[in-house]
A and B are shown apart, each in its own frame.
Chain A
Amino acid sequence: MTDLFAARSQMAMSLGFHILFAIVGIGMPLLMVIAEARWRRSGDPLDLELAKRWSRGTAILFAVGAVSGTVLSFELGLLWPGFMEAAGPIIGMPFSLEGFAFFTEAIFLGVYLYGWDRISPRAHLLAGVIVAVSGAASGVFVVIANAWMNAPAGFTLVDGTFSDIDPLAAMANSAAFQQVLHMTLASYAATGLAVAGIHAFLLRRDPLNAFHRRALTIGLMVGAPAALLQPLSGDISARNVAEHQPAKLAAMEALFQTRAGAPLLIGGLPDMDTKTTRWGIEIPAGLSLLINRDPKSVVTGLDSFPRADWPHVPTVHFAFQIMVGLGSLMALVSLWALFKLFRGHDLAADRRFLALTALTAPMGFIAIEAGWTVTEVGRQPWVIYNVMRTSDAVTPMPRLVYTLAGFTALYCFLGIVVAWLLYAQIIRSPREREWHRIYAPKPAVTP
């Protein structure tokens, strides 16, 4: 394994791990706040129990997110010093702002988790709202930094050095809005549907369980609208990619030849050597229609770029298919769920609905991993699109395969522990004595 490949793999693995927790750090605080707000209005102890359980889960996931995020901030430098030396002054801004978002998030999460009986109920709810807002903000800032790698702006390049640096123009790059919108929706869609799906699964065995019913509803309230909007936001992203990163779009669609009336390719196995795709289904003129709103328009294919500037086409294409496929399913299930909610149907009574919702539980997370694969692998061989090659950014440190192996082992281990804790602490139905505690009559005051 070359050091470059080890570095790329380690980066991919660390980001792929962190993002799972980051999504939850954005989505869960919202669910927790909704449950607590309901409790304050209804006084139903079940809502309080949900808010408390979810905040325990968030505490575990947030901590792992925080430490894996710390690893990333160092790894940007440890693995890609060439990149950070050039890019730091240009995109340091969103990272600094992200730092403050982390502060507020961590501070008020501490207040939220440990402050149940130390501050007023109103202040407690407000702390939860601040956690939710700053979680979303930290995601926004880091995605802006990433968007800059895809659509670099705010500098001029003279003989390989960056001059005329303008950090604000860098933040306002042409990919920022699309990516931020898509990623933020993705976080709510993934978290909301995951929570709904898990409780839908448990409801199939225990359909009368009030705890799971409540969780299902709140999960859907957050997840379904976001999942419904996601294909629209994806369309905006795709057209932006077509305009600014044509090689990535060509790889997503495995479009080897530039052509008018380009078809939309579903599935298929692209072969970079023969420049053909086998076993795909083509929808005639579909791609031209989607990208330019005109079935006869021309879409740039990979033949417009030197072979050395192609990303790995099969990876990008597969990942894109997975994201879009899962995204479509999630949107359909969400549509059904919202329909039922508006009609006032009993969600838990419909076993087919429960089964389908349970199936969507992991989909958002998989779609997000796939979407980031599209974005990041699709940018290759560039770390800064059309400006700096990944191979020029890598550290001179040799033997990176050892750190890759070490972090992979560490993260696998952590992943297993977290999964077990979440099951034992958060997801399983309350035991009998816990039901007693939830609905216990207040102990009589002894005179």
Chain B
Amino acid sequence: MSPTVADLLAGAVLLALTAYVLLAGADFGGGVWDLFARGPRRERQRAVIAHAIGPVWEANHVWLILVVVLLFTGFPRAFSQIVIALHIPLTLILVGIVLRGSAFIFRSYGGDDSGGQRRWGRVFAVSSLVTPLLLGTAVGTIAAGRVQRPTGAGFMADFVTPWLTPFAASVGGLTLALFAFLAAVYLTNETAEEELREDFRRQALASGVVVFLLAMVTLVLAWQGAPLVWNGLIVSPGALPLHLIVGAAATLSLWALWHRWWRLARVAAVAQVTCILWGWALSQYPWILPPSLTIAQSAAPLITLKLTLGALALGSLVLFPSLFYLFRVFKATEQT
């Protein structure tokens, strides 16, 4: 069976989401490490983090907007069910995004007032911690097949209990850990100072272990909480190769960190996170909102799908060279 146009657009959504997780996710993770910065090199760690995030976070953030836009353009029914059922967590995510972005910029441009800077730094760091938890919760609720049209069974039943589950919470925790892990691995590549590198390496190793533990917890909870995911990740024929790949990437990233092969660690971490996301997506294919709405059922008319793909292709011609330029200007020079 060859993929349909709708499948292609769904794939584009997945790619945009992947880019968001790999890029903006690490910016969130940077905020987490800002919060947990300890010891004598605390302020220098924070400076490296701010320096790494500063020029790129706004561009990275646009991937989320692309995900939203592609969803409501290409899969309007799925979008409308998601925004109704997840109204509360999504609203909280927005508050987190607003506070984080503004606090970061207020801290950077707040002048010499160090008290004010510390307060904004705290707001930035705390919202960087809370937002990924909620983002993961939202994704976990979708994966669990609990995003449904309201049944009129009451406020709690329609708008709260669907996402207030152990499985969704564990996906939230896993998301946070992944973001922190990505950030720490990237940060080892962002500084030439040995001491700071060692700090970030320790944090990367620690969060890598936490990722592993939380992934196990999530998998166990999926048995009850997200049968479709469980099925896709344990029972289906594609499951074993997938686990092997994720496992290999995870081992490789930790191993590379251990041996201080910074660039290899970064590549492996990216592969690991990408495989986790795609594993989830494959496990619920062809559902977009299991178990009620498939990609085909929720897709917009063909003409819209085609035009949107066309716009994406055209936009990419502008986007990728620009992104390449941005990262070359700000990221290539860090490595010495």
Contacts and interface: CB of A to CB of B under 8 A. Distances in A.
Interface in B86-126: 87, 90-91, 93-95, 97-102, 104-106, 108-111
B234 to A, nearest CB: 34
A200 B54 CA distance: 33
Contacts of B100: 67
Contact of A70 (B54, B65, B91, B333): B65
Contacts of A115: 55, 329-330
B58 A96 contact: no
B307 interface: yes
A93 B155 contact: no
Nearest to A417: B106
A229 B218 CA distance: 61
Contacts of A92: 69-70, 72-74, 300, 304, 308
Q: Is the interface of B mostly helix, strand, loop or mixed?
A: helix
A97 interface: yes
Given A67-B98, A104-B319, A118 B109 contact: no
A168 interface: yes
A85 B79 contact: yes
A424 interface: yes
B76 A84 contact: yes
Nearest to B306: A167
Given A92-B69, A97-B311, A114-B54, A395 B109 contact: no
A75 B90 CA distance: 9
Contacts of B61: 66, 70, 106
Given A107-B323, A166-B303, A399-B155, A60 B105 contact: yes
Interface in A114-140: 114-115, 118-119
A115 B95 CA distance: 30
A165 B301 contact: yes
Nearest to A163: B301
Contacts of B159: 397
Of the listed residues A56, A69, A115, A167, the one surrounded by the most CB atoms of chain B closer than 10 A to its CB is A167
B58 A81 contact: no
B64 A70 contact: yes
Given A60-B105, A410-B98, A102 B62 contact: yes
Interface in B318-336: 318-319, 322-323, 325-326, 329-330, 333
A66 B101 contact: yes
A106 to B, nearest CB: 4
Contacts of B56: 110
A421 B101 contact: no
Given A85-B79, A96-B308, A396-B84, A68 B105 contact: no
Nearest to B68: A73
A387 interface: no
A118 B330 CA distance: 8
Contacts of B73: 88-89, 92-93, 95-96
Q: When A and B form their complex, which 8 residue pairs have the shortest distance between CB atoms, in order from nearest?
A: A92-B73, A89-B300, A77-B83, A100-B315, A63-B105, A88-B72, A81-B80, A88-B76
19 contacts: A56-B109, A60-B106, A67-B97, A67-B102, A77-B72, A77-B80, A81-B79, A85-B76, A88-B76, A89-B300, A92-B69, A92-B304, A93-B304, A93-B311, A103-B319, A110-B55, A111-B326, A113-B55, A114-B330
Given A77-B79, A104-B319, 6 more contacts: A66-B101, A70-B61, A74-B94, A92-B69, A96-B315, A395-B87
